[in-house]
């Protein structure tokens, strides 16, 4: 009996092996594929079978690369209906339908029925396409069904993204929910059908990204589709089909385009054999200007400008108040409605992503002149351009009513002719001519006045008694600011009593006081031995007296009496931010929601300084001790003694005298004395890390290798454990996603290169989850730029995390 059983079992195994081998490339109607078996394409490139994604135990039928060690799934059949055991079977049933079934759940997934097929066969091609054809049909090369028509999250070379207009089939990508669940996520990508079709990425039901319409060579908003060594692109639009596809120039290269729900982006990868890894080749959205409709109607987004959003010529903000507070959603409207009596002209704007084509009209036969005339005749026509830029340009596109989602595309884009009033264009020429004349005269006149001023100033300084060249009367002429005498300040602070002392910094002590009318104040008294001299004092008075923002400390007045110099501020009941962040008891009581409110307030205060105030102001010493908290814990940036101001488009400078606090300086400032708004962004990023961790930067400094908070945060990020940075008291917080986003933003702010760091307008958007976050590059590690002698001097200070911070103002930039 045992011998018979063994012979029978061997026969079963041989039969099973023969069945598996027989269906290695294809399966017919009498065959099936069970869990544990697979179908391999003829060239061995792709494999089909049952798998479990990530850490999930559910089973799915899918296709993946056979010869890539990292399992990379490119298609899933039963995305929405997983099999909960290993009883799955894949087959062609009696009606010609392709079916996935399980013993416990019955039919899990199926296609349409193909009853007329005489000998249906399923075959996996080396392109990754699973096809169903009729071997005995009149045309066996015609596919009855193919997986390429029903993509998952991946577009492979040769696949079509778009529409078959004959059948109404729409081929769209949709992201996985996460690495454990291939069910459709938030992102989807397809072709939007209208007069001038274009590719769109949706996030849920709203448009998320648009590459611009195809212009014969590329999408107008996608300069990366220019000539390159890897891909050829095509966009086909005719009466039968509208689709986008790409091919590889080198067939030995593996490449895929995917929708990534976690990164909220569409990513293109190339397999690098040398490193056995997928390399990210390109990703969209590229930046914040790629966010669909970010700036509202009739605007252009310029990522290199601040603010990014600008009204088109001839338009003005629809809601000036919202616009000035960086809420651009309402966009812009015509400064003056068109009269439609031949009083308008078209002005060409170059290097643009063309507007959303939902409200457009297109002709393949018109030339550009005919296009202009057609637009002129329709009062609702706002702009026109070529539909095809190959050669001299041909075809015509007209846009009606509002122009949506325009951005500047450097070294790419396309020309767009926008309608504006002729009087405005003529007026501009006149204004320019007048301005040029006035500027010439003003420059000459200014030189004369400047020479006269220098002469008068020297005379005045020589005639002043005492050591101050800045008298009490001088600022009164320029500032609407109260001035107090020394007796008033002594009386308000109980003669500068130690009981009233709030703290002390590099400038000197700060005292709490109360004026005669009951107003509580903080008096900053400049010490005679302070490193902050007369220039810094004057600088702070002139700057802060003119600043008005809820996240900047308010200057109540000043006192200059002999050798005494004092600044009088509004009193902040909760002191400085460092007393909360670095005090574990107060830190835990505060809670994340309140800290996020503080972070957001600091960001908005910096944004005001960099962009929205009358002058562009760089603080140069942003740190926790220079952020004060009122009774409601609203943050207010203080201490402007080291700040610098700029006018117009200037946003930076260099200095031979580096000033500021060690550990908060941006690398380019500490090394070369170069400072800009991006220097403040660096300091903000580090302050953000300190708030999240509840630790001072220097508390992470190792006595031998000098590792600081920045390096620690970067190491946690690269190891995929950024939340290890978060204080243990927040581990149960329901806001971990928000905290994780803040860590991501902080790393973007402290990147080595200033050009890579976002500006504060972008930071505010990122903190509030209104934009996609790019991957951060390596931070600026200050241990690589601070001189070793200074590190040696500081070592003793790092033994105690409660030691006073050290401010440098003496070593020169190298």
Catalytic amino acids? Answer: 621
CB 68 within 8 A of CB 87: no
Question: 240: which 2 tokens?
Answer: 């039968």
The answer to whether 92 and 29 have CB atoms below 8 angstroms apart is yes
Contact between 28 and 52 under an 8 Å Cβ cutoff? The reply is no
Q: Concatenate the DSSP letters of all residues of 441-509 into one string.
A: HHHHHHHHHHHHHHHHHHHHHHT--SS-SS-SHHHHHH----B--HHHHHHHTTTT-GGGEEEEETTEE
Label residue 264 left, alpha or beta by phi (over 0 means left) and psi (-120 to 50 means alpha). left
Identify which of 607, 605, 609 has the alpha carbon closest to the alpha carbon of residue 627: 605
Copy the structure tokens of residue 754: 């200033």
Whether the Cβ atoms of residue 395 and residue 374 lie closer than 8 Å to each other: no
**Helix, strand, or coil (residue 792):** helix
Query: Within a 13 Å sphere around the CA of 693, how many CA atoms are in the beta-carbon half?
Result: 23
User: What tokens appear for 91 in the block?
Assistant: 């087959």
Any idea what DSSP says for residue 373? H
706's tokens = 């000098």
**CA 449, CA 749: separation in Å to the nearest integer?**
43
Query: What is the C-alpha to C-alpha distance for residues 29 and 32, in angstroms, rounded to an integer?
Result: 8
* DSSP codes of every residue in 574-616: T-BTHHHHT-HHHHHHH-HHHHHHHHHHHHHHHHIIIIISSSE
CA distance 345 to 367: 18
In DSSP notation, 516-557 reads: TTS-EEEEEE--TT-SS-HHHHHHHHHHHTT---TTBPPEEE
Name the β-bridge partners of 300. 310, 406
Sequence-ordered list of residues with C-beta below 8 angstroms from that of 57, at least 6 positions apart, any chain: 84
The gap from C-alpha 322 to its chain's centroid, in whole angstroms, comes to: 22
β-strand pairing of 206-210 with 231-237: unpaired
Q: What does the alpha-carbon distance between residue 323 and residue 293 come to, in Å, rounded to a whole number?
A: 14
Cα distances (Å, whole numbers) of residue 706 to 14, 163, 582, 623, 662 = 66, 59, 21, 20, 13
In the 8-state DSSP scheme, what is residue 290?
Answer: G
């Amino acid at each position: 009996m045992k011998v018979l059983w063994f012979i029978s079992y061997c026969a079963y195994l041989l039969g099973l092996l023969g069945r598996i081998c027989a269906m290695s490339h294809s399966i017919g109607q009498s065959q099936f594929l069970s869990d544990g078996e697979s179908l391999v394409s003829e060239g061995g490139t792709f494999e089909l079978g049952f798998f479990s994604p990530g850490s999930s135990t559910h089973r799915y039928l899918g296709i993946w690369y056979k010869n890539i060690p990292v399992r990379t799934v490119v298609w899933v059949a039963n995305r929405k209906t997983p099999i909960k055991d290993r009883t799955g079977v894949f087959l062609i049933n009696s009606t010609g339908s392709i079916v996935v079934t399980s013993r416990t759940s019955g039919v899990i997934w199926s296609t349409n029925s193909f009853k007329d097929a005489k000998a249906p066969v399923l075959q996996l091609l080396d392109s990754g396409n699973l096809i169903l054809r009729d071997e005995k049909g009149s045309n066996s090369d015609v596919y009855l069904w193919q997986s390429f028509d029903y993509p998952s999250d991946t577009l492979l070379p040769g696949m079509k993204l778009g529409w078959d207009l004959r059948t109404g089939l729409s081929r769209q990508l949709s992201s996985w929910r996460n690495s454990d669940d291939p069910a459709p996520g938030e992102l989807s990508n397809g072709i939007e059908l209208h007069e001038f079709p274009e590719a769109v990425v949706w996030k849920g039901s709203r448009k998320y990204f648009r590459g611009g319409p195809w212009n014969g060579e590329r999408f107008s908003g996608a300069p990366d589709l220019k000539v390159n060594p890897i891909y050829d692109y095509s966009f086909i639009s005719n009466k039968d089909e509208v689709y986008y596809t790409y091919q590889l120039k080198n067939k030995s290269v593996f490449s895929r385009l995917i929708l990534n729900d976690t990164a909220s982006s569409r990513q293109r990868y190339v397999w690098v054999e040398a490193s056995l890894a997928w390399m990210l080749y390109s990703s969209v959205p590229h930046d914040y200007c790629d966010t669909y409709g970010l700036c509202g109607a009739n605007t252009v987004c310029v990522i290199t400008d601040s603010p990014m959003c600008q009204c088109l010529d001839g338009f003005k903000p629809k809601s000036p108040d919202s616009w000035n507070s960086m809420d651009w959603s309402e966009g812009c409207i015509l400064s003056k409605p068109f009269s439609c009596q031949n009083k308008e002209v078209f002005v060409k704007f170059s290097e643009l992503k063309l507007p959303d084509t939902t409200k457009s009209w297109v002709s393949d036969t018109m030339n550009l002149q005919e296009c202009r005339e057609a637009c002129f005749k329709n009062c609702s026509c706002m702009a026109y351009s070529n539909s095809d830029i190959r050669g001299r340009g041909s075809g015509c596109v007209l846009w009606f009513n509002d122009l949506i989602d325009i951005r500047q595309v450097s070294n790419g884009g396309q020309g767009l002719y926008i309608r504006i009033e002729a009087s405005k264009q003529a007026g501009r020429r006149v204004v320019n001519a007048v301005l040029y004349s006035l500027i010439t005269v003003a420059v000459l006149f200014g030189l004369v006045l400047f020479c006269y001023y220098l002469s008068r100033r020297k005379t005045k300084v020589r005639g002043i008694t005492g050591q101050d060249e800045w008298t009490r009367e001088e600022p009164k002429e320029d500032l609407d600011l109260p001035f107090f005498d020394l007796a008033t300040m002594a009386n308000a602070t109980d003669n500068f009593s130690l009981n009233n002392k709030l703290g002390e910094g590099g400038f000197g002590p700060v005292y709490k006081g109360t004026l005669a009318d009951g107003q509580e104040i903080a008096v900053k008294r400049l010490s005679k031995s302070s490193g902050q001299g007369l220039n810094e004092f004057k600088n702070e008075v002139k700057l802060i007296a003119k600043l008005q923002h809820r996240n900047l400390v308010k200057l109540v007045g000043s006192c200059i009496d002999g050798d005494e110099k004092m600044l009088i501020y509004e009193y902040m009941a909760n002191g400085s931010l460092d007393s909360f962040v670095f005090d574990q008891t107060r830190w835990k009581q505060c809670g994340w929601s309140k800290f996020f409110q503080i972070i957001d307030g600091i960001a908005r205060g910096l944004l005001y300084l960099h962009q929205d105030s009358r002058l562009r102001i760089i603080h140069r010493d942003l740190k926790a001790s220079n952020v004060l908290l009122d009774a409601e814990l609203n943050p207010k940036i203080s201490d402007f003694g080291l700040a610098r101001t700029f006018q117009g488009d200037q946003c930076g400078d260099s200095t031979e005298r580096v000033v500021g606090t060690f550990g908060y300086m941006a690398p380019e400032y500490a090394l070369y004395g170069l400072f800009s708004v991006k220097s403040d962004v660096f300091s903000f990023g580090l302050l953000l890390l300190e708030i999240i961790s509840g630790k001072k930067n220097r508390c992470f400094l190792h006595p031998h290798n000098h590792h600081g908070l920045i390096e620690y945060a970067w190491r946690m990020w690269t190891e995929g454990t950024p939340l290890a940075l978060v204080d243990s008291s927040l581990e149960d917080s329901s806001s971990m996603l928000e905290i994780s986003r803040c860590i991501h933003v902080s790393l973007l702010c402290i990147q080595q290169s200033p050009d890579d760091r976002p500006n504060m307008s972008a930071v505010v958007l990122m903190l509030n989850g209104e934009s996609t976050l790019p991957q951060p590059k390596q931070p600026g590690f200050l241990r690589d730029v601070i001189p070793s002698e200074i590190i040696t001097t500081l070592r003793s200070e790092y033994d105690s995390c409660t030691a006073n911070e050290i401010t440098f103002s003496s070593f020169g930039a190298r």
